[in-house]
Amino acid sequence: MIAKSGRLIVTRKIFDENERPKDESPDQDENTKLAILLLPRWKFIEETEDTNFHGIFTFSGFEIIGHEPDENNNNILRPIHNHHYYKAKFTDGQLVEIKIMGDDDYRLPVGSLFP
């Protein structure tokens, strides 16, 4: 993602095993034993890193340009999207320019790097 600060940030999602409390007390009641068993086995960790990217990065995205009635239910409005490809230029990790790419540029693969 491009942060508000203009930096290209990578987010990693990691699953790690939770440590379960040891069931060492013989006088634990049934509710405590059950609570220990119901604790989630895995925890979710999200790490972010500034890529300090230098170059041009292409990506795509949608712009909502309006709404229209849903074809199955006229009481629901669904968004009308306009798809764009973008070219973002980074210098020493800082976003310096971003443009919507022209019709001839759509052939570039999303996420491509080029001089």
- DSSP H helix total and E strand total for the chain: 1, 6
Residue 8: CB atoms within 10 Å: 20
The confidence band for 115, taking pLDDT boundaries of 50, 70 and 90, is very low
Q: SS3 of 69, please?
A: strand
Worst-scoring range by mean pLDDT, 12-21, 53-62, 94-103?
A: 12-21
Residue 90: CB atoms within 10 Å: 21
pLDDT at 86 over 80: yes
Contacts 24+ apart (CB under 8 A), 100-108: 101/58, 108/58
Q: CA 71 to CA 40: how far, in whole Å?
A: 41
| Better pLDDT: 23 or 67 | 67
Worst-scoring range by mean pLDDT, 23-32, 46-55, 61-70?
A: 23-32
pLDDT at 26 over 60: yes
